[in-house]
Amino acid sequence: MASSRADLDGNSIKPMTICMIGAGGFIGSHLCEKLMAETPHKVLAVDVYNDKINHLLEPSSSPWAERIQFHRINIKNDSRLEGLIRMADLTINLAAICTPADYNTRPLDTIYSNFIDALPVVKYCSENSKRLIHFSTCEVYGKTVGCFLPKDSPLRQEPANYVLSEDTSPCIFGPIEKQRWSYACAKQLIERLIYAEGAENGLEFTIVRPFNWIGPRMDFIPGIDGPSEGVPRVLACFSNNLLRGEPLKLVDGGESQRTFVYIKDAIEAVLLMIENPARANGHIFNVGNPNNEVTVRQLAEMMTQVYTKVSGEPALASPTIDISSKEFYGEGYDDSDKRIPDMTIINRQLGWNPKTSLWDLLESTLTYQHRTYAEAVKKSTSVPVSS
């Protein structure tokens, strides 16, 4: 299939074997789908779960059955990992604890997962001269310079005080007791280690900083395909509230701002990195959609409108409710105020731009959420009739 694919410089792309760690997660499942449907590459899919990629693994008669293999491996303690990295041309590391509710409540697991567990992956790639694409996060930027200025300061409008640029923006985290930053700090240190492996030992690497990628299969719906008490990321939290007909909870007033990018747009950028090593190696890339900025309150309002449209169910009279971060996340939570990605580097190196508006991506995502979960939620909430 498609073996005559050409890279951005017109050279034909040779089929490669990719060791994808964390392939069973949200991003991994979309990347596996894209690689199976549109490329000739092989995937050694490593994860502890495979529910989100089962549709690609079965039946064995599927057109790509020979090109994807699942390896149920916990990378914390499995000696098979090095062998898989050696068999592959490229390793992509997606494995991580990456839900904010965990950062302040399970800081040790968060730091181990995002730094310690990633170390052997970097080491095996470096020692075996294998290329690495590592998933970091936009959270490494932390807070913006602008948020420390007075609310009415005109300097807040200066892009230099809020646009996040890979090669010039500082990384600004809160104090240690704000354990929210355990994740960002661990991600930053692994970025620095990878960068140093590149500088001192010639590791061929690319670092990806996703800015709130969202879409189908993100996280879980509590009590349906995840723990009842679990707190997923905002898309799944708000989807859960909408499916249950409950008000959407706005943490600390929902004033923080985010830019959301559709997972399918973002995956196009990752495919360009995979297939254009000469343009991607040695770079850190922001991948986001600067045109889709909203406050969390605006996101809640838009999701309520979209869900009414796709489900046919009326919106609540009071669709949102305020909640303090302490009550929602517990002690040690803190927040990024604003996240606008500078797109200069990814534009220059890979010519990539996101396409999908926030309304359109929410429409397709909430259509998926409604189709996938509405019945199960209804069943789980219906009171059994006593006989």
178 part of the interface to ligand UGA, by CB under 6 A? no
336 part of the interface to ligand NAD, by CB under 6 A? no
Residue 48 interacting partner from ligand NAD, ligand UGA, none (CB closer than 5 to 8 Å by kind): ligand NAD
22 part of the interface to ligand UGA, by CB under 6 A? no
Residue 341 interacting partner from ligand UGA, ligand NAD, none (CB closer than 5 to 8 Å by kind): none
Calpha distance 332→345 (Å, rounded): 34
Nearer to ligand UGA, 68 or 242 (CB): 242
Answer whether 27's CB lies under 8 Å from 233's CB.
Answer: no
Nearer to ligand UGA, 225 or 252 (CB): 252
For ligand NAD (CB under 6 A), the number of binding residues is 23
188 part of the interface to ligand NAD, by CB under 6 A? no
24 part of the interface to ligand NAD, by CB under 6 A? yes
The identity of residue 37, as a single letter, is A
DSSP 268-286: HHHHHHHH-HHHHTTEEEE
Residues 6+ apart with CB under 8 A from 216: 263, 364, 365, 368, 369, 372
DSSP state of 216: T
Give the position of tokens 């943490």: 251
Q: How far is the CB of 308 from ligand NAD (least distance, A)?
A: 25
- By CB under 6 A, name the one of 47, 265, 335, 363 that touches ligand UGA: 335
Q: What are phi and psi of 9, to 5 degrees?
A: -105, 10
Residue 110 interacting partner from ligand NAD, ligand UGA, none (CB closer than 5 to 8 Å by kind): none
User: Footprint of ligand UGA on residues 252-311 (CB under 6 A)?
Assistant: 254, 256, 258, 296
22 part of the interface to ligand NAD, by CB under 6 A? yes
Nearer to ligand UGA, 42 or 180 (CB): 180
355 part of the interface to ligand NAD, by CB under 6 A? no
Task: Label each residue of 50-63 as H, E or C.
Answer: CHHHHHHHCCCCCC
137 part of the interface to ligand UGA, by CB under 6 A? yes
Answer whether 258's CB lies under 8 Å from 299's CB.
Answer: yes
DSSP 118-130: GHHHHHHHHHTT-
Which residues belong to the active site? Answer: 183
Residue 49 interacting partner from ligand NAD, ligand UGA, none (CB closer than 5 to 8 Å by kind): ligand NAD
234 part of the interface to ligand NAD, by CB under 6 A? no
Residues 6+ apart with CB under 8 A from 37: 64
Calpha distance 36→22 (Å, rounded): 16
Q: Given the rule CB under 6 A, which residues bind ligand NAD?
A: 22, 24-28, 47-49, 74-76, 94-96, 98, 113, 117, 135, 137, 210, 212-213
